[in-house]
Amino acid sequence: MRETCLFLLMIATMKTCLTALLFFCTAPVMAQQWVRYAESDESLMYYDSLRTRKMGDTAFVWDLHDLKNATTDASGKPYQSVLFAVEYRCRARKWRVLGTSRHPQRMGAGKPVSEEAGAMPFADAGPGSRAEQLFNQVCE
C-alpha cells in the first residue's frame, strides 16, 4: 500500500513538472494577448488571455509583471519585466508559481536574462489579494 501511494505521488509530481516544462517551451511560439488586471507601486500586471488553459479544476496562466523601474537580478543583469507560469486550483482557491523568467525589455520582450523552473508550494488566493484578482479572471 505504501509503495502504491509513493508511486502515485511520484506520478503526480512528474505530471506537474512536465506541464511546467511544456508551458515554458511553448512560450515564445504562441500568440499573446495581454490583459491588464492589476497595478502596484512597482508594476503593472497582465495575464495572457490567449494562452490561459483550464483543465477541470486546474487553470494555467501566464502572469506578466511589467516593472515601472528597471532592476537587476542576483548576477547584476538588468530586467524590466517578469513572466510567471502560474497554476491555480480553482475549487481550493490555491495557486503556485511553476516557473519565472526575467526579461530585459517591457512586456516580456527580449531574450530572458534569467529563468527559474520548479513548482513552488501552493498558497491561498486570499480575499483582496493580487492572486485573487487573477484567480477571478482565470477560474470563473
Question: What does the pLDDT read at residue 22?
Answer: 44
Return the C-alpha cell found at 140. 470563473
Low-confidence stretches of the chain (pLDDT < 50) are 2-11, 13-14, 17-30
140 with 115: CB under 8 angstroms? no
Distance separating the N- and C-terminal Cα atoms of the chain: 37
In the CATH scheme, what is the code of domain 2-139? 2.40.128.710
Sorted by sequence, the CB contacts under 8 Å of residue 59 that are 6+ apart come out as 52, 53, 87, 88, 90, 138, 139
Return the C-alpha cell found at 11. 506520478
DSSP string covering 59-86 = EEEEEEEEEEEEEE-TTS-EEEEEEEEE
Residue 103: CA atoms inside 13 Å, Cβ hemisphere, count?
17
Sorted by sequence, the CB contacts under 8 Å of residue 2 that are 6+ apart come out as none
21 with 116: CB under 8 angstroms? no
Question: What does the pLDDT read at residue 130?
Answer: 86
